[in-house]
Amino acid sequence: MKGKVVAALGAASMLAAAGIVAPVGFASASVPSVGAWYSTWYAKKTTPNVTWITGFGSSSANRFVGDVSGDGKADAVVFNGDCSWQVAVSNGNGFNTPSTWTTGHGAGSSSQLLADVNGDGKQDALVFFGSSGNWYAALSNGAGFGGYSLWVSGHGAGSTTQLAGDVNGDGKADAVAYRSGTGEWSAALSTGSAFGTPAVWASSFGAGTSRQFLGDANGDGKADAIAFDGTAGNWYRALSGGASFGASSLWTAGHGAGSVHQLVGDGNADGYADPFVVFDGDVNGDALPGDWYARLYSKYAGALDGYDFVMNTGFGSGATAVMQGNVNGDPDGFKASVAFEASTGTWKVQPYHATKANEQDTWSAWNIHYKPLTLGAYQQYDSGTPAVIDEHLATLSDAKVDFLLLDQTNNIYVDDGYIFNRSVKVAGRIAAWNAAGGHRTIKYANAIGGVQWSHDPAHIEWEAGEIWSQFNDTSMGGPSNAFYLNGKPLLVIYCTPADRAAWESWTGSKTNTDRFTVRWAHSPSTAGTYGWEVRNGTIDDDEVMVVMPGWNNNKGATPVSRANGDYYALSGWEKVLQKTPKPQIVILNSFNEYGEETAVADADTGSLSSSSEKWYDKSGQIDNAMYWNMTKKYIGLLNTPSYQASSLFSKGQGWYGWSYKQWDGSAYSDMTWNSAAGRWQGTQPYVLILADRQHPDTYDAVRAWTAPYAGTVTVSGTVRLESAGGDGIVAAVKKNGTTVWGPQTVTTTAGVAHSFTVNVVKGDVLYFIVNKNGTNSYDTTIWDPTVAY
């Protein structure tokens, strides 16, 4: 939803240098490629229960959330005063009945931690004894903690804070101790079966600060040392180099002064840790106490955003402890906010960034009432669901769509990257679809557009670089599944003409965009652009033409009416068919953009509000599949210009070149579509046209075909009566006003065949006329002509 050329030889050389072989099947002007804008911004996650368990851990000494069972969902874990560890395993929408996983582990310990110290994907129970500096671990086997054993001695005796995290990036959590008085940080690295010899990793970092954490602040896979000064709300970091922590630097300032809880975690699974703070009171003014704030990492800025994002509201006020964990197995890896209330042993959960409702359920958040045909029913879906993606690929491949244009135009990582996450899943499923074989291949291209907000040409380069690095991963599509234009992957940039001109005149490095064939889109579309909306019909261009069924951005712009299918057919596809030579590429806007109401995929529109346009046919009946059926037929004509009357029979005058008329002896006039009967009806009761039949009354029944472009066509078919008994009919074919076949009297069910050629120019009309002869009894005439170039 909008917020709304390098020579082929040089491109091929560059791709070869990058180790990429450009695939066969570039866009060709002789057989146009068909692409479709494809929206991946639909989240449809199950809203988690608020209360996940009560009466668990009310008298515990410590509590955690972490995946101890190894099933990808974080579980609730408590350490009790009797040195028992209990676990309530997550079932995805609650914590199961607790069970004891070990006893006697940690008696007399100073602190307890939960961390994956052996790197097997399951978090383990870790305890520390302050007087001796001994650390013991009890490893998880997925159903319990095994016997505990000493992992290191004499590490951190007398230290202020103990932490566990993977500071050297080998996938195993290490033991870290911090001394407040000196700001010394020491680490003992995990070998998978023990912690190694402790070593000082930093001195004079964070002395006297309020809280200390480990978290990967720079996204290099190694946990860094982080300190929080509660007085001013300043956060500091010392980055891990794999063997020590580097120099101290300010991470962010003025974030969290007066907060009651602080956290550091990668809540949105983007690879970067962020600082979170929690206030008991109502800070944001919504009258709901319990506000969570975060400074989120901006990949474009390469630093934490200076803005305080409200993450959760009305949650966790007065909680004993707050945590983050992927308790519901979120497919994006988002970590939910968890609040523990000791008085009742109650654990409550809210989704990560719950204030961004669109990340949880886009349809509800944006008031989208379309119900696409999905997995056998009309229902809303999540764009990241593999079965949904595969169904879409099958549908698009069957229609002979060649590539998807993945819409990431509102900033590639907008809203915690939830759109990007789904785009890479689609590209990954395309790679799997093509690798499986046995069906028509389909490719992908990307559309970006963060520059529409920043107006910075460098932003285009940065986003292009991100697309290049991310989608070159074969699990995310890979280069062999990309759509190529002029020897390089296609990249479409959505922006204003002014932003485009600024980039074109920009003298900075264009290394990233040079990897692509760059093309443009903006609102409204102009000749040669790949969208967005075409407000006055499809625009002629030799490279690309955009077809659109209608448009309503629901932001105050004047909508483009679908006109019961006429806009898509007559102002779109028919113009493409009339173009000679054909464009290299035809772009559908869109397969599934319901926010701006340009979708053509089969969908139930019966629940749309009055401000939106339901998909009415010519008789005022809703037809869920009308636009997708039109799409398939028009793509078929684009590839094979053969016009069979029955296969292209439609509800619209002029669709697919066919019209339905009556002749009163002096003039042709249009018939009216009868939805209930599924046929065209003249002004007399028996003047009718069906898919492969015509019936005259006093007026003739006339099926008409209009030539989209000049050429020689073959006109073939057989005219026969459905049943004998009358005096027959008289059939004829006219080009404009000249008879080119017939008149032919037909009196039998065997009929009369015809096959002849005729030269036509654009706009010539062939009339297929059925006259009643004498009477109109028994005059139902089977006639299914084909006109083929």
CA-to-CA separations, 363 to 329, 382, 426, in angstroms, rounded: 21, 9, 19
Instruction: Specify the DSSP class assigned to residue 733.
Output: E
Tens digits of per-residue pLDDT, 578-601? 999 999 999 999 999 999 999 999
Mean pLDDT, the chain, as a whole number?
A: 95
Q: Taking residues 177-186, what's their average pLDDT?
A: 98
Of the pLDDT bands very low, low, confident and very high (cuts 50, 70, 90), residue 2 is low
Tens digits of per-residue pLDDT, 642-659? 999 999 999 999 999 999
| For residue 7, pLDDT beyond 60 | no
Question: What is the share, in percent, of the chain residues with pLDDT greater than 90?
Answer: 94
Helix, coil or strand: residue 247: strand
Among 22-36, 46-60, 368-382, where is mean pLDDT lowest?
Answer: 22-36
Tens digits of per-residue pLDDT, 148-176? 999 999 999 999 999 999 999 999 999 99
Q: Taking residues 78-104, what's their average pLDDT?
A: 98
Tens digits of per-residue pLDDT, 276-311? 999 999 999 999 999 999 999 999 999 999 999 999
> Tell me, what's the pLDDT at 30?
76
Q: Taking residues 373-398, what's their average pLDDT?
A: 98
The helix (run of H) or strand (run of E) holding residue 463 is helix 457-471
Strand partners, 227: 212, 236
Residues ≥6 apart with Cβ < 8 Å to 103: 82, 83, 84, 85
Sign of CA dihedral 68, 69, 70, 72: negative
Of the pLDDT bands very low, low, confident and very high (cuts 50, 70, 90), residue 6 is very low
> Tell me, what's the pLDDT at 349?
98
Question: 226, 264 in Cβ contact below 8 A?
Answer: yes
Tens digits of per-residue pLDDT, 598-646? 999 999 999 999 889 999 999 899 999 999 999 999 999 999 999 999 9
The helix (run of H) or strand (run of E) holding residue 574 is helix 574-578
Tens digits of per-residue pLDDT, 767-781? 999 999 999 999 999
Question: 212, 225 in Cβ contact below 8 A?
Answer: yes
Rounded distance between C-alpha atoms, residue 538 and residue 525, angstroms: 9
| 128 or 22, greater pLDDT | 128
Q: Taking residues 51-73, what's their average pLDDT?
A: 98
Question: 102, 138 in Cβ contact below 8 A?
Answer: yes
> Tell me, what's the pLDDT at 474?
80
> Tell me, what's the pLDDT at 752?
98
| For residue 189, pLDDT beyond 90 | yes
Of the pLDDT bands very low, low, confident and very high (cuts 50, 70, 90), residue 19 is very low
CA-to-CA separations, 393 to 270, 707, 784, in angstroms, rounded: 27, 33, 33
Question: 245, 238 in Cβ contact below 8 A?
Answer: yes
| For residue 10, pLDDT beyond 60 | no
Question: 659, 673 in Cβ contact below 8 A?
Answer: no
Tens digits of per-residue pLDDT, 716-741? 999 999 999 999 999 999 999 999 99
Question: What is the share, in percent, of the chain residues with pLDDT greater than 70?
Answer: 96
Measured in Å, how far apart are the chain's first and last C-alpha atoms? 39
| For residue 21, pLDDT beyond 50 | no
Tens digits of per-residue pLDDT, 311-334? 999 999 999 999 999 999 999 999
| For residue 12, pLDDT beyond 70 | no
Q: Taking residues 26-42, what's their average pLDDT?
A: 84
